[in-house]
Amino acid sequence: MRYTVSKSPSVDIVSGLDTSHSADQFSGPDLHGHFGRYGGAFVGETLVAAVEELDRVYQKLSKDPAFWAEYDKDLKHYVGRPSPLYFAERLTKRYGGAKIVLKREDLNHTGAHKINNTIGQALLAKFMGKPRIIAETGAGQHGVASATVAARLGLECHVYMGADDIKRQSANVYRMKLLGANVISVESGSRTLKDALNEALRDWATNVDNTYYIIGTAAGPHPYPMMVRDFQAIIGREARAQSLEEYGRLPDALVACVGGGSNAIGLFHPFLRDEGVAMYGAEAGGEGVETGRHAASLSAGRPGVLHGNRTYLMTDDAGQIIETHSVSAGLDYPGVGPEHAWLKDIGRVNYVPVTDLDALTAFRELTRLEGIIPALESSHAVACACKLAAGMSPDQFVVVNLSGRGDKDIHTVAAIDGITI
Amino acid sequence: MSRISKTIAGLQAQNKKVLIPYLVAGDPQKGLTVELMHTLVRAGAHIIELGIPFSDPSSDGTVIQLGAERALRQGTTLTDVLAMVSEFRRSDKQTPVVLMGYLNPIEIMGYEKFAAAAAAADVDGVLIVDLPAYECEELFSAVRPRGIDTIFLIAPTTTQERTAAICANSTGYLYYISLKGVTGAAIRDKSEIRDKIAHLRSETSLPIVVGFGIKDAESACEMAAISDGVIVGSALVEKIGLLPVQGPCSSAQLDEVVAVISSISEALQSLKN
Ligand SMILES: Cc1ncc(COP(=O)(O)O)c(C=O)c1O
């Protein structure tokens, strides 16, 4: 049975999900970056050599324990890992079902999971001797995380950001500038994340010799989806160990929001072979999937090719990319990482749209009940988890990836409330 | 022999360089594209690269991005583009037409359906910017049996190993990208291009044409002198952008727009092979 939004406690949402997969099925991608028919490296010829070089370097470094030792050291002393697994008791009571447990990525340095990835990729940039870093950003969290590692390593940093996102995430824009990054406003197309990605690809093609492109999510040409997943999988590895330690068993379900899919794949991946663990990816349902104004590419899109990979996309019948809508800039993206596309097709993960309204409700509830202001992106996961938990029994527990904190979003929420701050 | 190969061989027999303008189909009006194509042929175009507009042209600079945006505002679809080729063919049976674009519109149409429609419209070649040789088999095995040439880009960054793979998959001509960057940027290193092309000659007997960054007669002659011909995109699309997005357009206006191609054509005539 697929996920339903019914709050009836009698609905057993978790059962019926086919998780009986063989172990080696999840060892992808193949050598050319394919997860089933998804993924690959669909880039212009100028960039092919660059992604191939990156793949070679990553293949080599990722087999080197010294590389991971340095990464782990940075995560511990600079990022502040491990992030806690926190039992949201009052939120759980409010829904009267399974325990809702939060994986607190919001407590990381810079306030989101994005830094796990930029720490890893910055080590690659350093190893490859690239003095110049570029990044795209939607909510600004990845831009901030990139500017942060660039400042720390003394690298030049340019962040591409859609003009509309610059407006709605002004606090993060200023943070990037403080960190010494050059924030470039992207005026083309829909002026959001996808256009920032296009512009970053153009920059990379132009400055390919001295530039390292830090993609902020588990999408793009191979090896990015694999590499970003590997850097974010620390979330799932920790959550798995913490679950066993604190609850004596694995969670009944995992929930994460899905923009490009990095925090979700980071949480999910270490659990993919655990048959009893159900998984839910919360996509941006915007004003409702039926209105067409959303960014739920897995729930309502179809396979196509964009930004270097074959994956589910928001595309019209003529193959043009459709403008997306979400209250959260970080989920406002018409594609999704290819591993999610594959996990959807094989039925291992359920992807469900969560509306702006439901996300805002969750935002307020978590704030008032737990004293935690979540990012609007993460609020989608919280909303999904609350509904899910309500239909489960109190002896079960759900781990929700609280991918980021909501400080960056207070202007957006205030504006919705009719308040100027 | 394909129409493209015949055209280029014919020019080479006369010691002439190939001139290939690029325009975005549907820019700035759907109804103007076929007329523009005929005007380009009169101005000296030997082959036409017709761009399939795409919402996310990540290998293109601002000029061609804007061209694609104008075409999409007119509602231009891949089906429209194919219809334009059919219409062009009604009065021009000689000039090869190459469709150039990004993969997604073709992927959404379906490879078989696209290949059949392209053949029916008498398309001569396809060049998919974001389809590397490694991923091309599925689409090109639908396209090739229909006699359509498969054209690839080679960049300054292309490795020796990839060059071989690309040459093995290419027919018609090779498109050498003159620079590291997007369409419309400026060429910096001429001697590097000369060396690369000399090396390519040892790998393939396909004609090699140079594109990206050719804006006028001077840069065209420089590049044509070291290759078999040139592709002119942004410099033309920039002029097309000056045409009205609606209402009638005189043939004098169209002539003015393609003047950049006429002047390049004239300059190439005087180039000694
Ligand atoms: C806090 C937070 N969560 C989630 C996302 C969505 O990205 P992803 O799906 O890659 O985790 C973003 C993106 O900006 C974010 O800032």
Quick one: pLDDT at residue B189?
84
| pLDDT confidence of residue B172 | 98
- Judge contact between A38 and A338, C-beta under 8 A: yes
Whole-angstrom Cα distance, residue A382 to residue A409? 16
The complex scores an ipTM of 0.96
Q: Average pLDDT, stretch A332-356?
A: 98
Residue A22: pLDDT band (50, 70, 90) is very low
pLDDT above 80: residue A20:
no
Q: What is the mean pLDDT of residues A216-245?
A: 98
Indicate whether residue A111 lines ligand 1 (CB < 6 A).
Answer: no
Find out whether A215 and A131 touch, Cβ atoms under 8 Å.
no
Which residues lie across from B174 on neighbouring strands? B152, B208
Q: What pLDDT is recorded for position A168? A: 81
Strand A302-306 relative to strand A308-313, pairing:
antiparallel
Residue that has been written with the tokens 């202001």 in this structure: A373
Determine if the pTM surpasses 0.90.
yes
Instruction: Dump pLDDT digits (tens) for B178-197.
Output: 999 998 888 888 899 999 99
How large is the average pLDDT for residues A360-384? 98
Largest Cα separation within chain B, whole Å, is 51
Mutate to test the pocket of ligand 1, among A102, A104, A116, A217 (most ligand atoms within 8 A of CB): A217
Is the model's pLDDT at A50 over the cut of 60?
yes
Identify which of A265, A278, A274 has the alpha carbon closest to the alpha carbon of residue A234.
A265
Interface residue B94 vs chain A (CB under 8 A)? no
- Please give the helix or strand (H or E) that residue A42 lies within, else none: strand A38-42
Task: Measure the CA–CA gap between B204 and A384, rounded to whole angstroms.
Answer: 57
pLDDT of residue B273: 52
Residue B272: what pLDDT? 60
Q: How much is the mean pLDDT over chain A?
A: 93
β-sheet bridge partners, residue B100? B51, B127
Closest CA to A9 of A354, A315, A322, A387: A387
Please answer yes or no on whether A40 and B108 come within 8 Å at the CB atom. no
Q: Between A24 and B60, where is the model more confident?
A: B60
pLDDT at residue A11 above 50? no
Q: Does residue A321 register a pLDDT over 80?
A: yes
Cβ of A220 less than 6 Å from ligand 1: no
Q: Are A160 and A196 in contact (CB under 8 A)?
A: yes
Q: State if residue A169 touches ligand 1 by the CB under 6 angstroms criterion.
A: no
Best residue in B70, B109, B127, B130 for a mutation probing chain A (most A CBs within 10 Å):
B130
Q: What is the mean pLDDT of chain B?
A: 96
Amino acid at A176: M
What is the DSSP pairing of strand A85-87 with strand A99-104?
Answer: antiparallel
Using alpha carbons, select from A157, A119, A161, A117 the residue that is nearest to residue A136.
A161
Tens digit of each residue's pLDDT (9 = 90 or more) over A112-170: 999 999 999 999 999 999 999 999 999 899 999 999 999 999 999 999 999 989 988 88
Split at pLDDT 50, 70, 90, the class of A421 is confident
B49 is catalytic: yes
Whether the CB of B114 is below 8 Å from some CB of chain A: the reply is no
| Dist. CA B81–CA B66, nearest whole Å | 18
